[in-house]
Amino acid sequence: MSGDHGHDDHHDHEGHINTIAPFVFSLASAVMFIGLVMATAGENSGYWFVFLLGLAGMITGFFMWIQDYWDQDSEEGEDMETYHDFWDTISTRKFGMWIFLLTEVMVFSTLLSAYLRYRAAVPDYDPGIDCGLQFEDCWVPAADVIRSHLVFGVINTFALLLSSLTVVLALYAAKNNNPKAATRYLMVTFVLGAMFLVLKLWEWNEMRHYNFWDEAHYGCDVTKGQNIEDHCIAPKYADGFWIDTSLEGSTFYITTGTHGAHVFVGLIALGYLIAKSNKEGYNEEYHDTIELFGLYWHYVDVVWVFVFPFFYLY
C-alpha cells in the first residue's frame, strides 16, 4: 500500500504545472474588456490605450501558457495527468475544460438572450411596405443589411461544421498511430477557421460602408409629402451599419465579434497543435491535447449554429 501511495503522490505532482500564466491572462482579459466598454461608450479615447494594454497582456499570458506546456511536455501521456478519487474516469485537465465551457455557455447565453429580448420588443422594418414612412420604433435585422451577401454566412457555417469533422478525424488518426494524417487534418481545420475569419472581416467591412438608401428605397415613391430623412432609420444608418449606429448594430457586432475572438483563439491553439505534431507527433498514447481542443472547437461551432439563424435569418 505504501508503494501505491508513493506512486499516487508522484503521479499527482507530475500532473501540475506551476505557472502564473492563467492569472496574467485572466487579469489582462478583465482590463481589455473594461477598456473596450469604456472606449465605445464614452468620448475619452484614452480608454483605447487601456484596451490595447489588456489585449497585449492577454497575448503575453497566452503565449506564456503555451511555452510552459511546450517546455514541460505536460500534454504528453497519461503519466502527466492527474485524477481525483471522485473523478476516476476524467482527468483534471478535461474536467477543467468542461468547467471553462460551462462559463462560456453563460457568456453566449447572455448575448443571445439580450438580442432576442430587443429583437422581439420592436416591430420589423419592411423596406417594401414602410418605405418613406416615419414611425418611432423599428428594427433592421442584419439579414436585411447583408441579404445580398448571405451566401458568405452560409459558406462560413459550412466551413465551421466541416472543421468540426476534421478535428474528429485528426483525433481518430492520432489514436490509430497515424501522426502524419493527424497533422494534415489539423492543418485543414486551421485553413477552414482562417477562411471563416477572413470572410467575417470582409462582411463587416461591407456592412460598415453599407448604403441603406440604395437597398431599402429602391423603386419607392417618396413624392407624397413624405420626407425620407424623417424615416426612423435615417439617423441610424446615415454612416453605415456599425456597432455605434444602433442597438441592432451593437448586438450584432458584439455577439459575432465575441464569437470571432473565440475562433481566433482556436486558430492560435491550432498553430500550437500543428507545431507540436510536426515536432513529435501525436499517437495512440499522446493525443489528449487534441481531444481537449476538440471540445473547445465543437463548442465554438455549436454557438455559430445559433448565431447564424438568430442574426442572419430572424
Burial letters 257-276, b for 16+ CB under 10 A, else e: ebbbebbeebbebbebbbeb
> Can you tell me whether residue 45 is helix, strand or coil?
coil
For residue 60, pLDDT over 80 is answered with yes
Q: Tell me the chain's radius of gyration from C-alpha atoms.
A: 24
Q: What is the pLDDT of residue 32?
A: 86
Give 224's DSSP letter. S
| Structural domain count of the chain | 1
Question: Contact 79/285 with Cβ under 8 angstroms?
Answer: no
Return the closest-CA partner of residue 311 out of 193, 144, 192: 144
Give the mean pLDDT of 203-227: 57
User: Angle CA(303)–CA(305)–CA(311) in degrees, nearest 5?
Assistant: 90
pTM for the structure as a whole: 0.75
Residue 186: inside a domain? yes
For residue 112, pLDDT over 60 is answered with yes
For residue 210, pLDDT over 80 is answered with no
Percent of the chain with pLDDT over 90: 27
Residue 11: inside a domain? no
For residue 102, pLDDT over 50 is answered with yes
Rounded Cα gap, residues 209 and 239, in angstroms? 7
Return the closest-CA partner of residue 267 out of 188, 156, 180, 202: 188
Rounded Cα gap, residues 311 and 305, in angstroms? 11
Residue 139: inside a domain? yes
Residue 93: inside a domain? no
Residue 285: inside a domain? yes
Range from 193-207, 209-223, 275-289 carrying the lowest mean pLDDT: 209-223
Residue 72: inside a domain? no
Distance between alpha carbon 181 and the CA centroid of its chain, in Å? 27
| Highest-pLDDT range among 74-83, 173-182, 233-242 | 173-182
Rounded Cα gap, residues 122 and 66, in angstroms? 46
Burial zone of 237 (CB within 10 Å; 0-12 exposed, 13-18 middle, 19+ buried): buried
Question: Contact 112/310 with Cβ under 8 angstroms?
Answer: yes
| Highest-pLDDT range among 84-98, 166-180, 278-292 | 166-180
Q: How many alpha carbons lie under 13 Å from residue 252 in its C-beta half-sphere?
A: 29
Pick 2 or 107 by higher pLDDT: 107
For residue 178, pLDDT over 80 is answered with yes
Range of the domain at 119: 98-313
Give the mean pLDDT of 36-51: 77
Residue 83: inside a domain? no
Rounded Cα gap, residues 194 and 216, in angstroms? 32
Residue 70: inside a domain? no
Q: What is the CATH number of the domain that holds 236?
A: 1.20.120.80
